[in-house]
Amino acid sequence: MKPKTTTALSSQQIKQAKTTALVEAARRAYEKHEIRDRGDRWWHIARRYPDGDRSFDSSYVTDIFCGRFGEVYVGGDISSMVFAYNNANPISRLHWIGDCNDLEYYVAQKASIGMGRDLQNAVWDYDSELAATQLHEHYQQLLDAGRSATPPAMKDLKDILLELGLELPQERAVELTHELDWTIMEGLGPLGEVVSTRLVYAWAAIRRLCEVLGAVTRGSLCRTDQVHGDVCLMCREAK
């Protein structure tokens, strides 16, 4: 009996679909954000209520700060994230992260550096469907490479796959690293690893700020209803 295929999609397709959906959700969360206040190295962005009330909504209100040692800090009504290191000027540093579309490698790498070794779970989430598919694919790759299905180590893996179904819980994935022979696990890589919601929303906040700064420079966002007191923050950005 062969292990069942968990899904018609490959692990790469599952990973891409989940990341794409998360990026779109984060984009929608920030698509109406404006610069509410700013300093030389920091920006406070927020969106207004959609019902005609011109006051600001506290949902996803975000502060973005460029530190003096090459970091970009993001926090507020989202979990905080730090990207490091780039010693360019603050505006260039925003574009360094905000203009980059390579979330799964480059942006995640900079977040991994910024968050430090003890907070890597802030950079990566675990997806049980992806993990199960990866394990099924790994078994098939071993067979395709000429590995026999009869040795005990391969039979152990086959038995596990037959029990799995569509998902591999994270606790079970950790157990497998101790249960299965290292020759079976070799080359498999991290199971179920996807960029975290925390990382994507922090990146989306920076990306939106870059969009607003670019539009302000072109003068397209300067409107009288964005005047606070006698100072238009949007005009101030362009100066």
- Say what the pLDDT of residue 182 is: 80
Contact 88, 96 (CB under 8 A): yes
- Say what the pLDDT of residue 116 is: 95
Average pLDDT of the chain? 85
Domain boundaries, the chain: 31-125+195-233, 128-190
Contact 233, 212 (CB under 8 A): no
pLDDT in tens, 37-81: 999 999 999 999 987 777 999 999 999 999 999 999 999 999 999
Higher pLDDT residue, 220 or 8? 8
d(CA 232, CA 223): 8
Answer left, alpha or beta for residue 192, where phi above 0 means left and psi between -120 and 50 means alpha. Answer: left
Give Dmax over CA atoms of the chain in angstroms.
79
Residue 223 has pLDDT above 70, yes or no: no
Confidence at 107, pLDDT banded by 50, 70, 90: very high
- Read off the pTM: 0.82
- Say what the pLDDT of residue 145 is: 87
Reading the block at residue 173, the tokens are: 């994935």
